[in-house]
């Protein structure tokens, strides 16, 4: 994929959402000026993805993984509608200055909601391009006050058997759990999404709030979050617990390290049609310039 790096774009250059459907292009991971310094200087690159064509709302909301509603791609769209997402509260605990049970509205009140068009690459080797609306996770963490010594952020999804038919079966050890290193969580590309295409995020995509970490395999992007814990130990994560040989804690997109049962070198683009060519998978899913420095010293040919 041809990619052009520029340093002269700002958020004002992002196409208004009414034009999303009409224009090929836009941003992925444009960096706020404030966040740029830590990852490559004040003129850190912003991405102008000439080739980034968002998937349709229909594609994004009918082909999902959300095992709390069943294991087929169609189950989430079929069953997630019954999930009650209001009221919604998030327990924030561990190494934070202001722990508590926050009403979602209070936790994100007055924080900037931004439009981010990101590649999304599932570990199963399919991909989409999704126009999210979301808040930088960093802003939420700063609001609750991360204490010195905290090194990781752990997340948990709701478990509500009366509305989530999938959790009645022990497909995974519920609740669905995920985690990030603190520097990954504070990275400006890491968002908590509350919308898609400017619409409230549909339940099957993780309403009312889900993580999006665009340089990692999709299973890291945990949905319908009810708990955020700051800790100094690497937290247990669902897919790693289920099969540690196949799913690592880091799980950064890497075309050079295959899954034990399939190649990760290329991906099937959802919506591309039955006979579409597979597309080469990009290192860190195309966000290498922004995030590679987080992993200096790691041998990226290794499984993590």
Residue 173 DSSP SS3: coil
Number of residues that bind ligand MTE (CB under 6 A): 16
Residue 299 DSSP SS3: coil
Q: Is 203 an interacting residue with respect to ligand MTE (CB under 6 A)? A: no
Among 20, 219, 247, 249, binds ligand MTE (CB under 6 A): 219
- Give the per-residue SS3 of 240-273: HHHCCCCCCCCCECCCCCCECCECCCEEEECCCC
Of 138 and 210, the one with the shorter C-beta distance to ligand MTE is 210
Phi, psi values for residue 238, rounded to 5°: -55, -50
Among 46, 49, 55, 64, binds ligand MTE (CB under 6 A): 64
Residues 106-165, interacting with ligand MTE (CB under 6 A) = 122, 157
Phi, psi values for residue 298, rounded to 5°: -85, 140
Min dist. Cβ of residue 87 to ligand MTE (A): 19
Q: Nearest residue to ligand MTE, using CB?
A: 218
Min dist. Cβ of residue 222 to ligand MTE (A): 5
Min dist. Cβ of residue 221 to ligand MTE (A): 5
Q: Is 55 an interacting residue with respect to ligand MTE (CB under 6 A)? A: no
Q: Where are the alpha helices (DSSP H) in the chain?
A: 33-36, 57-62, 75-79, 104-108, 137-144, 182-185, 238-242, 288-291
Among 146, 222, 230, 291, binds ligand MTE (CB under 6 A): 222
Closest CA to 137 of 26, 211, 82: 211
* Binding positions for ligand MTE, rule: CB under 6 A: 64-68, 122, 157, 176, 205-206, 218-219, 221-224
């Amino acid at each position: 994929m041809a990619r052009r790096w520029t340093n002269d774009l700002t958020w004002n250059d992002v196409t208004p959402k009414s034009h999303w459907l009409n224009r090929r292009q836009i941003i992925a991971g444009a960096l706020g000026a404030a966040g740029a310094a830590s990852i490559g200087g004040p003129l850190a690159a912003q991405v102008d993805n000439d080739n980034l064509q968002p998937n349709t709302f229909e594609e994004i909301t009918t082909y999902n993984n959300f095992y709390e509603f069943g294991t087929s791609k169609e189950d989430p769209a079929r069953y997630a509608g019954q999930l009650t997402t209001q009221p919604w509260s998030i327990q924030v605990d561990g190494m934070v200055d202001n722990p508590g049970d926050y009403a979602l509205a209070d936790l994100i009140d007055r924080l900037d909601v931004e439009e981010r068009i990101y590649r999304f690459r599932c570990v199963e080797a399919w991909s989409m391009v999704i126009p999210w609306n979301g808040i930088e996770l960093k802003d939420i963490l700063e609001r609750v006050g991360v204490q010195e010594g905290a090194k990781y952020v752990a997340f948990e999804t709701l478990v509500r058997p009366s509305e989530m038919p999938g959790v009645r079966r022990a497909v995974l050890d519920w609740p669905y759990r995920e985690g990030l290193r603190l520097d990954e969580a504070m990275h400006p590309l890491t968002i908590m999404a509350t919308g898609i295409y400017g619409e409230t995020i549909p339940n099957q995509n993780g309403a009312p709030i889900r993580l999006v970490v665009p340089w990692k395999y999709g299973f890291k992007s945990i949905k319908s979050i009810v708990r955020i814990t700051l800790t100094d130990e690497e937290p247990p994560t669902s897919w790693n617990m289920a099969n540690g040989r196949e799913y690592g804690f880091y799980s950064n997109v890497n075309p050079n390290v295959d899954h034990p049962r399939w190649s990760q070198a290329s991906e099937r683009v959802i919506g591309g049609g039955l006979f579409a060519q597979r597309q080469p998978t990009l290192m860190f899913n195309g966000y290498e310039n922004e995030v590679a420095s987080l992993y200096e010293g790691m041998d990226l040919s290794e499984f993590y």
